[in-house]
Amino acid sequence: MKDLSREQKEALGRMIVEGCKKGDADVVEGCLKRGADPDVSVCDGDGGPRKPALHWAAYNFNEKCMQALIGHGANLEARDGDGETALFYAIRNFKVPAVEFLMKNGADPLAQSNNKTVALDVARNLRTDYASYSQARDQIIKALTKDYGQAPEKPPPVQDDVASPATQEDIHVLKPITLQPKKGGHGFNL
């Protein structure tokens, strides 16, 4: 595939995050097939810290989006600015299915953040002031300590069946992307 410009890479990265936020695996897969980096770090429209795409997919859990990223070689242990992995995001947001998915795919529950916190500590310290929080925390701890056996072997990154390298014209096959700022200045509408 032809090298993409910085602007093209950034646009594809923003589109991956939007796909992860909306649970649209087709958008995520389409961007990855056009050369997007599965470990791209993007900040939200609010100017917050940069996070790898897998973090966004875990936060807004959609199994197909996460599978697309992992299928294209996303690093389960990719870190944000605080040294946290996607597993931390899934735990903090009580996303039990995301925690289970990440663990089944080989995420490390003992990975340390910059402040030496591990995922198990984050789970242990979750809020439990509501019964649903307490139940989710218990399910997360169970998922983090369950023996899933050996992580599945990661398939090689998906490659297009086309033998010739992509050109600038190939990229323009997509519908033009227009991002409109959301009211209130948080994020973009497509």
Per-residue pLDDT reduced to its tens digit, 11-50: 998 899 899 989 999 999 999 999 999 998 887 666 667 8
Residue 164 pLDDT > 70, yes or no? no
Q: Which residues are CB-contacts of 157 (< 8 A; sequence separation ≥ 6)?
A: 38, 71, 72, 73
Residue 52's SS3 state is strand
The residue extents of the domains of the chain are 6-189
- Find the radius of gyration of the CA atoms of the chain: 17
12 by Cβ neighbours in 10 Å (0-12 / 13-18 / 19+) ranks as buried
pLDDT value of position 4: 86
Whole-model pTM: value is 0.74
pLDDT value of position 172: 42
Domain 6-189 has CATH 3.40.50.720: no
